[in-house]
Amino acid sequence: VTLTMLGMWSPLLLWGLVTPCQGLLEKVGTLARIDKDELGKAIQNSLVGGPILQNVLGTVTSVNQGLLGSGGLLGGGGLLSYGGVFGVVEELSGLKVEEVTLPKVSVKLLPGFGVQLNLHTKVGLHGSGPLGSVLQLAAEVNVSSRVALGVSARGTPILILKRCSTLLGHISLLTGLLPAPLFGVVEQTLFKVLPELLCPVVDSVLGVVNELLGAVLGLVPLGALGSVEFTLATLPLISNQYIELDVNPIVKSVAGDVIDFPKPRNPVKVPPKEDHTSQVTVPLFLFNTVFGLLQTSGALDLDITSELVPSNVPLTTTDLAALVPEALRKLPPGQQLLLSLRVKEAPTVTLQNHKATVSISATIHVLSYFPQGAHEALFQLNGVMTLNAQLAPSATKLHISLSLERLSVQLVSSSAHTFDASRLEEWLSSVVRLAYVPKLNVNLDVGIPLPKVLNVNFANAALAIIENAVVLTVPS
C-alpha cells in the first residue's frame, strides 16, 4: 500500500540533484555537514521524547473504536460487516491497537534525492474473540518511506514525505482462540489499515526533525555588538553519508544594518569528513567580523592608569626616566603616567598552520597624569600587538581567549627629544598583558556563534585550525 503525502508542501522547491564534493568551499559561509547517524538519532529522539506514538493510538481508539467490532472500521455496515462476504466477523468485538513499540530507525541517504527511512515496529492489538474470550495479537510491521530534501517558503531545509508503505510481517496470537477464517480476516484488515495508522507517524516525525533543521537558520545575538543571521547560501547537497548545508552568516549592527567586512578571496580547502561524525567549518570572515565590530564600537580602546595595573608594574615618570630619560624633559620624578591606546583599524586575524593569531595596530599616547588636572603629552607611538588566540568550543559558540606574544613600537612624535622606542617594548608589554589583554578577553565573551545543527552539542568537538577556517568535528 502506497500513500503520497504532499499536501501543504506543494509550493516547496526540491533539491538534491547534485552531491557534495570533497574540496573547496567557494563561499565564505559556515559549512555544516550532518552525518546520517545524526539524522537517525534526531528521528529516534522524536519518537522517544514526544507523544507521536501515543497520539496516533489515541486517534485509532477514539475515532474507530476498534478495527473489527460493531463500531469499528470494518464492522457495523463496513466492508466485512454482517451481511457481507464474511459474516463471521461479528464474532469479533472491539479489536483495536493498544500498543506500538518504539520503532527501530534505519536511515539511508539517497544522493540526488533525499532519504530512505525505515521504521521497524511491533503493533499490539486487544479485543474480544469468539464466545467473549480475551484476544491479544502482535504483528511485526516495517514502515518504508522515501523522503525528499526540499526548501520551504522561509528558505529553511525541510524533509518531505513522498511515498510511504508498510510490509506486514509475522502475526502472533498471544492470548485467546482464533479460527483460521477469522485469522485471515485480521491479516487482510491489518494490511489495509496499517498504512493509514503508521504513515502519519512518519509525517509527525518529519515535522519534529524539520523544526530542528529550520533552527539552523535564525538570528544569533552578539551581545552589545549586534547579531548574526544565518541563511542558506546555496541549495543543500546530499551524499551517501551526509547532508551538506552552506550557511551564509549575515552580520547586523544593533540597529539592524547589514555590516559588510572584507571577505577573503581564496576559497577554503575543506578537509574530508570522517564517517559517523558531523562537521562544522567556521570561516575566517566571522572572526574578522567580530573583531571589526569590537573596533568600530570603540571596545578596543583603553586608557591605562596605575589603577588598572598591579603595584609592581611601574607607571610613573621615575620608572620611565630609567628607560628613556630624553623623553621626559624636566618633569618631576614620581609623576603618574597615562597610556591612551586607540585602535583605528580593524584587527587582522590569521588562521593557518594549526594556529590562530590576532594582530592589533594601535596608537599609544603617553601622557603625564594629573587625576584632577590637565594632562601633558610626552610622546606618541605606533604599536603592533601580536596575540595568540586560544579557541574552545561550547554548545553554541566558539570562545576566544587572547594572550600577548609580542609588542613592537615605533616613535611617531615626542615633545622633547627623539629616542629609540624599542627600549620601551618590554615595559609596555607588561602593561598590555596586565591591563589591556584582560579587557579584550572580557569583550570577546560574545564568541563566534555556531549554527544550530539538529541540536548537535559542540562542547566536546575536536577542533582543527586550517587555512582561513576552523573545523569542528563531533562524533555521531
Q: What is the pLDDT of residues 114-127, one digit of tens each?
A: 999 999 999 888 87
How confident is residue 91, by pLDDT bands cut at 50, 70 and 90?
Answer: low
CB 359 within 8 A of CB 383: no
Confidence check: pLDDT of 21 > 70: no
How confident is residue 195, by pLDDT bands cut at 50, 70 and 90?
Answer: confident
Average pLDDT over residues 312-316: 84
Q: What pLDDT score does 428 carry?
A: 95
pLDDT by residue (tens digit) across 410-465? 999 998 888 999 999 999 999 999 999 999 999 999 999 998 888 888 999 999 99
How confident is residue 270, by pLDDT bands cut at 50, 70 and 90?
Answer: confident
Q: What pLDDT score does 88 carry?
A: 43
Q: Which of 183-197, 250-264, 275-289 has the highest mean pLDDT?
A: 275-289
Q: What pLDDT score does 411 carry?
A: 95
User: Chain-wide mean pLDDT for the chain?
Assistant: 82
Confidence check: pLDDT of 85 > 60: no
Q: Which of 23-27, 261-265, 374-378, 434-438 has the highest mean pLDDT?
A: 434-438
Domains of the chain: 36-217 (3.15.10.10), 261-475 (3.15.20.10)
C-alpha cell, 151: 526548501
In angstroms, the CA 350 to CA 360 distance is 12
Q: What pLDDT score does 141 carry?
A: 92
Average pLDDT over residues 74-86: 37
How confident is residue 312, by pLDDT bands cut at 50, 70 and 90?
Answer: confident
Average pLDDT over residues 108-137: 86
Q: What pLDDT score does 408 carry?
A: 97
